[in-house]
Amino acid sequence: MLINEEVKLDYSDVLIRPKRSTMSSRGEVNLERTHRFLWSKKKWKGIPIMSANMDTVGTPAMHKALSKYNLITCPARHYLKKDSEDFNDGQENICWFGGIDDISKLSKVSSAFIGLDVANGYTIKFVDAVKQLREKCPKATIAAGNVVTADMTQELILAGADIVKVGIGPGSVCTTRIKTGIGYPQLSAVIECADAAHGLGAHIIADGGCTSSGDIVKAFAGGADFVMIGGMLAGHDECDGIVEDGVMKFYGMASESAMSRHGNHNDYRGTEGKLVEVNYRGKADDTIKDILSGIRSACTYVGANRLKTLSKCTTFVRVNNTHNTIFGNS
């Protein structure tokens, strides 16, 4: 047994210290990023926020809403099996995720990104699957996860991943931390995995734990190249769900609801997700505008006129402890 006594942080453990700025309006902030990827050598330009590849939010209608703002949609996995034509428009802003058994299907889709998505990215079987997908699709931009540590981030990159998906247990409908005791505070995971990925010329996705635009800001400030959100997009007209009494159901992909829908039950696997009810919020358009406005506003507080420079302008302040500590770039 080992005990790591270093402080590890979630988004709720910090705030960002404001700084003197020459900017006069949030309208001056450019949220677009241009990323060039390690293995595929391809370039992508857009606002690097992604819808989670969950049944509720990874829908064709959500793709149409996000595409208006040059955001990325990760379709729910069941569309990969039968209805991929529903996402024919805007392929430059789609990332198809599948499991280890979906490598053949992934190799046939046409989109800017493809990826392998499993709950536990630490198995040798998963690393071998990333290698296999890279061999089968040498020119594809490949994402892989999920992991939360620098060493495994590096291993997945060396296996052929351009982008590593970071997060175990932080999502609003994920119960992995409760069921297994496994996890890692999300902000620290983002900071450490981003540092490891950037050292190799690769990228990361911060996946899970964002409940507000401020959390998305903190993820980008911590070094995330992309941020994936699920619960923040739930409850809208574009979601796969029915509104009853002013609420809509939203569930994790390891929940009983997901397993029953997709026939994933077996003798050795229990649930590591839950179903919740979220308030109905109408069209996604207003929520997207609100998220982007929050990020722009944050940039003006620290003098970052581009999303790219936000992390360089950030000083995090620890707030959920007895003695506040300031750390980061001054």
Distance CA 266, CA 325 (A): 47
Q: State the number of CA atoms in the 13 A half-sphere of 330 facing the CB.
A: 2
Contact indicator for 172, 230 with CB cutoff of 8 Å:
yes
Shortest CA distance to 215 belongs to which of 172, 158, 244, 261?
A: 172
Assigned token pair, 246:
């002013």
Q: Is 210 a catalytic residue?
A: no
Cis-peptide into 53, omega within 30 deg: no
Residues with Cβ within 8 Å of 114's Cβ and at least 6 positions away in sequence, in order, are 95, 96, 97, 98, 106, 107, 133, 137, 140, 141, 142, 143
- The Cα 176–Cα 271 span in angstroms is 9
Given the residues 74, 95, 174, 210, the one annotated as active site: 174
CA 72, CA 162: separation in Å to the nearest integer? Answer: 16
Residues assigned a catalytic role: 174
